[in-house]
Amino acid sequence: MLRILIVDDEHLARQAMRRLLAAHPVEIVGEADSVASALKAIERTRPQALFLDIELGGGDGFDLLAALEHPPVVVFVTAYTEHAVEAFAVNAVDYLLKPVEPERLAESLGRIERQLAGASASSGPATAKPGVIALRTPKRTLVVAPAEIAALRADGDFTHIMVADQPAVMIWRTLAHFENLLPSPPFLRLGRSLMINRDLLRDIETPSRDGARITLQGLAEPLMLGRAAAARLREALAEVKP
C-alpha cells in the first residue's frame, strides 16, 4: 500500500486532501505544516510519496526538498500556477492546483505508482530518479515522466507519442531524437518507426508468422508488429531472462 505524507500549512487543506485520498487504497502516515515538522515526519514515517504545498511555515516546499538527501516521490499541491516549471525541475511527478479534482488526484496516484515501479525495476542506483519530458504541441504542453510513455511511432519528421491512459500526442521531433533522450532499457527500438517501453508490455500474441500483436499497459488498443519487429522484441526479451 502506498505510504503518503501530507505537507501543508493549512489544517483545512490537509483535511481536504485526507478526504480525497480516503477513496484510494493508500496509507496516510502523517501530516506536517512546516519544513521542520515535515523533516521530522519524513525521518519518522519514511513515506514513499509527499503531497506537498509550496508555502510552508519556516520556508517552502523547495526548501524542504533541498534539505533531503533522498526525497520521496513528490506531488506539489498549491493554489499558485507560477511555480510549475520549478516544480518539475526538481522531478515532481505532478502539480495539482487547489481545489484538487478527484480525477486529477487519481491521475497523480497513477503517476506515483509508475514512478515507483520504474525505480524498483531499474538496474541503476536506488536513488536514481528519471526526470520529466515536456511534450509541446501548438495547443498544449504535456509534462510526463519517461515511465508514463508506452510507445512512440514515427511519422516522417513527427513522432506520435502514446502516453499511458491519455490521448496520444504528435510532436515535431524525429524518433531518433527520442531514442537519444529516453533510457534504454526499458525503451526498445523495434524498427525504423516504432519504439516501446518494455516495462509496460503486458501481452504478446502471435497469430501468424508474419508478426505479432502486443498489449501495453495504459493503451486501449494493441499494437501490430511486423515480422522483423517481432523478432527484435523476442531477442530483447530473451536477453533479460534470468
Percentage of the chain modeled with pLDDT above 90: 46
Instruction: Select the CATH number that applies to the domain covering 2-121 from these four: 3.40.50.10420, 3.30.930.10, 3.30.70.2190, 3.40.50.2300.
Output: 3.40.50.2300
Please say if the pLDDT value at position 126 is more than 80.
no
> What fold does the segment set 133-239 form as a domain?
OB fold (Dihydrolipoamide Acetyltransferase, E2P) (2.40.50)
Q: What is the pLDDT of residue 127?
A: 36
Higher pLDDT, 82 or 35: 35
Is residue 65 within 8 Å of 39, Cβ to Cβ? no
Q: Do domains 2-121 and 133-239 have the same CATH topology?
A: no
| pLDDT number for residue 124 | 41
pLDDT at 125: 38
Task: Report the largest interatomic distance among the alpha carbons of the chain, rounded to a whole angstrom.
Answer: 65
Q: Which residues, at least 6 apart from 123, have a Cβ–Cβ distance to it below 8 Å?
A: none
Of 195, 190, 115, residue with least CA distance to 152: 195
Task: Output 68 or 21, whichever has higher pLDDT.
Answer: 21
Which band of pLDDT confidence, cut at 50, 70 and 90, is reported for residue 140?
Answer: low
- Cβ within 8 Å of residue 124, ≥6 positions away: none
Terminal-residue alpha carbon distance, the chain? 28
Q: Is 239 exposed, middle or buried (0-12, 13-18, 19+ CB in 10 A)?
A: exposed
The arrangement of strands across the sheet holding 201-208 comes to 201-208, 211-216, 223-226
Q: How confident is the model at residue 46 (pLDDT cuts 50, 70, 90)?
A: very high
User: Could you read off the pLDDT of 157-201 as tens digits, one per residue?
Assistant: 889 999 998 888 888 888 888 888 888 888 999 988 999 999 999
Question: What are the structural domain ranges in the chain?
Answer: 2-121, 133-239
Write down the pLDDT at residue 138. Answer: 61
User: Do 162 and 168 touch, CB atoms closer than 8 A?
Assistant: yes
DSSP state of 143: E
Q: pLDDT confidence of 128, banded at 50, 70, 90?
A: very low
> What per-residue confidence (pLDDT) applies to 129?
39
User: What is the pLDDT at residue 208?
Assistant: 76
CA-closest candidate to residue 43, choices 57, 64, 59: 64
Residue 63 vs residue 150, higher pLDDT? 150
| pLDDT score, position 119 | 63
How far is 16 from 149, CA to CA, in rounded Å? 31
**Can you say whether the dihedral through the CA atoms of 108, 113, 114, 120 is positive or negative?**
positive
Q: What is the pTM of this model?
A: 0.53
Cis peptide leading into residue 185 (ω within 30°): yes
